[in-house]
Every structure is written in structure tokens, then in C-alpha cells.
């Protein structure tokens, strides 16, 4: 079983603060996705990273894929209440079946 | 990005009845779709992998006779919860795999809230 460990599980911060969410595994993935999910809705894809060491930026969000493609991080700068949600990482393997999902990080940004 | 729809978004049914949930990929073909169940404030729990034109692959502990999956076309998969009971009440989410490009990415539907009375 390929596990993806996400940390922290819960995070509550004030608007304007920075934060980092981690996604770690002992397995190598060919790609890794980050999703954000709001209550009562399906997860929405934020980014896909495929190359070891890759860094992608999406406005205030910075995603990094580890050099060995076993881990990833999501950094949010100057968090806003609209960033509140459940953040999920998912690892995929080329030509494999299902993806492996982390347990999620519930982020609450207080105004 | 790729769009996946799910219908219905909410359903309330009586215990013992069956409920069908549809999952459609709107702008791409999906040979593989996935069905998840999600409990409050928890991550996604994979129930089964739906393969177009063949039988679904169920995860350990998921009753295939209770959760019937049909993937009759490249854009449609259905999940039927048979003889539903209150413990089946949950948020059910489907996803469709888009193999385009170099990555393997799943796109999710908006989910279906099932309440069994």
C-alpha cells in the first residue's frame, strides 16, 4: 500500500499569515495533484506536478514536487478567508489504476 | 479544465429503496472513473474503479452487490445504491481520469448527498 501522509491535519490561522502543508510518502509517484474542497462540493484541482524539483505558482499558492518525487508541499502566502477548505494531495503512477490520496488538511483562515 | 457532472446533487430516500447516481465527463472521454465516499471532515474513501466496457473493481470491504456500478459509455458511469439503509447516508463523489498530456489527473464531480430515512 502506498501511503501519502499529509500534515498538519488541521490548521487555523489569521488572515494575512503564511502557511505550508506537506505531503510525504516513501513511494515514488509519476505525478502529484493538489485539490481544494469546500463543504458540500467536490474537490477542485489546483495543480498537477510531474517533474522532480518542479515548482509551480498559482497566485499566492506555491507548489513544489520533491526531487525524488516522493513528497510535495503547498505554501500559501498571506492567507485569506477564501482559502478556507480541505486540501488534498493525490499521487498517481503512469498506467496504474487508482491514485493514492492523503488524509487531507483542513484549513481555516479567520478574518 | 475538464468538467465532470454528477446527478442528482441531493437525494432523500426511504430505507429499502434503490438510488442511482450518474457521473458524466462533459468535455472528454473517460475510460476510467472512480467512485468515492466521504465522511464529514475526512478524506476521500475509494469505493470502486469503474472501467468502460468491463466490470468495476471494488475496494476491499465494499459490497459489489450493494453498490452496483455500470460504465456503459466513455462519458457515463452510474452508481446504484441498492436497498439503501440509513448507514448508507453519505456524500458520494465521482471522478473521471483524463489521460491527456503527461500527467494522470482525476477531475471530480460536485458530489451527491444521499440521505436515507
Chain A residues in contact with B108 by the CB 8 A cut-off are 35, 42-45
Q: Evaluate if residue B101 carries a pLDDT over 60.
A: no
Which secondary structure element, helix H or strand E, spans residue B104, and what is its range?
Answer: none
- A25 alpha carbon, distance to own chain's centre: 13
* Contact between B105 and A106 using a beta-carbon 8 Å cutoff: no
DSSP A78: S
Question: What are the chain B neighbours of A86 within 8 Å (beta carbons)?
Answer: 41, 43
Residues of chain B contacting A94 with CB distance shorter than 8 Å: 104
Partnered with residue A72 across adjacent β-strands are A23, A65
pLDDT at B117: 96
Would you say B83 and B18 are in contact if contact means Cβ atoms under 8 Å apart?
Answer: yes
The pLDDT of residue B75 is 92
Rounded Cα distance, B9 and A17, in Å: 35
Q: Closest Cα partner for B58 from B89, B25, B90, B35?
A: B35
Q: Region A29-46: what's the mean pLDDT?
A: 94
Torsion, Cα of A58, A10, A3, A31 (10° steps):
0
Mutation site for B-interface testing, chosen from A41, A42, A92, A102 by largest number of B Cβ within 10 Å = A42
The pLDDT, as a whole number, for residue B28 is: 87
C-beta atoms of A48 and B105 within 8 A: yes
Q: Is A95 left (phi over 0), alpha (psi -120 to 50) or beta?
A: left
The whole-angstrom separation of Cα A37 and Cα A61 is 15
Tell whether the model's pLDDT for residue B78 goes beyond 60: yes
Judged by a CB distance cut-off of 8 A, whether residue B41 touches chain A is yes
Does the beta carbon of B93 lie under 8 angstroms from any beta carbon of chain A? yes
Residues of B within 8 A of A50 (CB-CB) are 102-103
Q: What angle do CA B74, B55, B111 make, to 5 degrees?
A: 60
Q: Is any Cβ of chain A less than 8 angstroms from the Cβ of B42? A: yes
DSSP states of B35-91? EEEE-TT--EEEEEEEETTS--EEPTT--TTTEEEEEEETTEEEEEE-S--GGG-EE
Query: Which of B38, B104, B115 to mutate to test binding with chain A, by most A CBs within 10 Å of its CB?
Result: B104
For the segment B43-66, the average pLDDT, to the nearest whole number, is 92
Give pLDDT, residue B102.
53
Using CA atoms, how far residue A12 sits from A18, A73, B4, in Å, is 11, 18, 31
A88 touches chain B (CB under 8 A): yes
Exposure of A97 in the CB half-sphere (CA atoms within 13 A) = 14
**Which region among B11-15, B96-100, B101-105 has the lowest average model confidence (pLDDT)?**
B101-105
Which residue reads 496504474 in cell numbers? A96
Residue of A nearest to B90 (CA): A40
Q: For residue A88, name the pLDDT band (cuts at 50, 70, 90).
A: very high
Q: How many beta carbons lie within 10 A of that of residue B90, not counting itself?
A: 20
Amino acid at each position: 500500500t502506498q501511503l501519502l501522509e499529509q500534515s498538519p491535519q488541521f490548521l487555523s490561522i489569521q488572515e494575512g499569515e503564511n502557511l505550508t502543508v506537506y505531503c510525504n510518502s516513501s513511494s515514488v509517484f509519476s505525478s502529484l495533484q493538489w485539490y481544494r474542497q469546500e463543504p458540500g462540493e467536490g474537490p477542485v484541482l489546483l495543480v498537477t506536478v510531474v517533474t522532480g524539483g518542479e515548482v509551480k505558482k498559482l497566485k499566492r499558492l506555491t507548489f513544489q514536487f520533491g526531487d525524488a518525487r516522493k513528497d510535495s508541499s503547498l505554501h500559501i502566502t498571506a492567507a485569506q478567508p477564501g482559502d478556507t477548505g480541505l486540501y488534498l494531495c493525490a499521487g498517481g503512477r503512469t498506467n496504474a489504476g487508482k491514485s493514492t490520496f492523503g488524509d487531507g488538511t483542513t484549513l481555516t483562515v479567520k478574518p | 479544465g475538464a468538467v465532470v457532472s454528477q446527478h442528482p446533487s441531493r437525494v432523500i430516500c426511504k430505507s429499502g429503496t434503490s438510488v442511482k447516481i450518474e457521473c458524466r465527463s462533459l468535455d472528454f472521454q473517460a475510460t476510467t472513473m472512480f467512485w468515492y465516499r466521504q465522511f464529514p471532515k475526512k478524506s476521500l474513501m475509494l469505493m470502486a474503479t469503474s472501467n468502460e466496457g468491463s466490470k468495476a473493481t471494488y475496494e476491499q470491504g465494499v459490497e459489489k452487490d450493494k453498490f452496483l456500478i455500470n460504465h456503459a459509455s466513455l462519458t457515463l458511469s452510474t452508481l446504484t445504491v441498492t436497498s439503501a439503509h440509513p448507514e448508507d447516508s453519505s456524500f458520494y463523489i465521482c471522478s473521471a481520469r483524463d489521460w491527456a498530456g503527461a500527467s494522470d489527473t482525476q477531475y471530480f464531480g460536485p458530489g451527491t448527498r444521499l440521505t436515507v430515512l
